[in-house]
Amino acid sequence: MADSQLDRVRAQFTRQAEAYAGMAQTHDPRPLDGLVSLAGTQPGEHVLDVACGPGFLTLAFARRCGEAVGVDATEHWLGRARDEAERRRLANARFEAGDASRLRFDDASFDVVACRAAFHHFPSPERVVAELRRVAKPGGRLLIADMLGAEDAATAERHDAIERLCDPTHVRALPASSFERLFAGARLDVLRTIPGTLAYDAEEWIAHGGPDAATAREILRRLEASIDGDSAGLAVERAAGRLRFRHRTAAYLLRRPV
């Protein structure tokens, strides 16, 4: 990533670390274990988790593999993840500082390379995919999971504008067609695609980004305005006096050809 974006990411996730780590979608063990299973993780394998954040996915891998390495640009996350690994007595998990677009690992180092809930932060996702492919062994698997953007450009821009108000480090939610082009361009075989959704209470979601009160009100206004015709592609609804919405998601299992 460009240094300016890395600085924004570090500042945002240092400031909002506890709010983000406390979201159920971040630490719920069921989807984490599902991703580990989807990757076909085996004992003895070496796994890399890129943009690992608080390390919950890295630690889920560590319970099933030989060694799990988490990489993130935010030092606060790394300290938190190391403390959690020690608390869980997972000596085969380690955490390092790094940039997803310039990984400090040799070619063909890992059996599994994962990246969860991060591609919407990358200004150059094609560069990140190339790095993930580079450090995967021939025949190794890549696991990429994130929210999806709309295929319609106007709908996608309304969605992205809401995301940026909440979290200024958001760049773009890639639509499925963009992910498919990325994978084809990197010469990766798509083994499985698992679609899904993540549901949020709007006010709880806003708290993870930590915008000021005026910006929070504007986010709620835009979400409310998008209900008619689902103009932001977020399936917003009002229930029991509160706004709720959903992210469409996808988890991709890929393979670097031999």
The predicted structure's pLDDT at residue 22: 67
Give backbone dihedrals phi and psi of 181, rounded to 5 degrees, phi first: -65, -40
Residue 94 lies in a domain: yes
Decide if 229 is inside a domain: no
- Cα separation, 118 vs 53, in Å, equals 9
- Identify the pLDDT of residue 214: 98
Is residue 158, in this structure, part of any structural domain at all?
no
Quote the pLDDT of residue 6.
Answer: 75
3-class DSSP assignment, residue 253: strand
Say if 157 falls within a structural domain: no
Residue 243 lies in a domain: no
Is residue 251 within 8 Å of 193, Cβ to Cβ? yes
Domain for residue 208, yes or no?
no
Q: What pLDDT does residue 223 have?
A: 98
- The predicted pLDDT at position 69 comes to 98
Do 52 and 75 touch, CB atoms closer than 8 A?
A: no
Q: What is the residue range of 191's domain?
A: 3-150+169-199+248-255
Please tell me the predicted confidence (pLDDT) of residue 24: 65
Q: Quick one: how many helices (H) and strands (E) in the chain?
A: 11, 8
Residue 219 lies in a domain: no
**Strand ranges (DSSP E) for the chain?**
46-50, 67-72, 93-97, 110-116, 136-147, 189-201, 237-239, 242-255
What's the domain count of the chain?
Answer: 1
List per-residue pLDDT tens for the chain, 258 residues long: 666 887 776 766 666 666 666 666 667 889 999 999 999 999 999 999 999 999 999 999 999 999 999 999 998 889 999 999 999 999 999 999 999 999 999 999 999 999 999 999 999 999 999 999 999 999 999 999 999 999 999 999 999 999 999 999 999 999 999 999 999 999 999 999 999 999 999 999 999 889 999 999 999 999 999 999 999 999 999 999 899 999 999 999 999 999
Report the DSSP pairing between strands 136-147 and 110-116: parallel
User: pTM of the prediction?
Assistant: 0.93
Can you say whether the dihedral through the CA atoms of 185, 191, 195, 198 is positive or negative?
negative
pLDDT at residue 38, as a whole number: 97
In-domain check, residue 242: no
DSSP letter at 209 equals H
Burial class of residue 139, CB neighbours in 10 A (0-12, 13-18, 19+): exposed
Contact by Cβ (8 Å): 20, 54: yes
DSSP string computed for 4-63: HHHHHHHHHHHHTHHHHHTSHHHH-HHHHHHHHHHTT--TT-EEEEET-TTSHHHHHHHT
Residue 25 belongs to domain with CATH number:
3.40.50.150
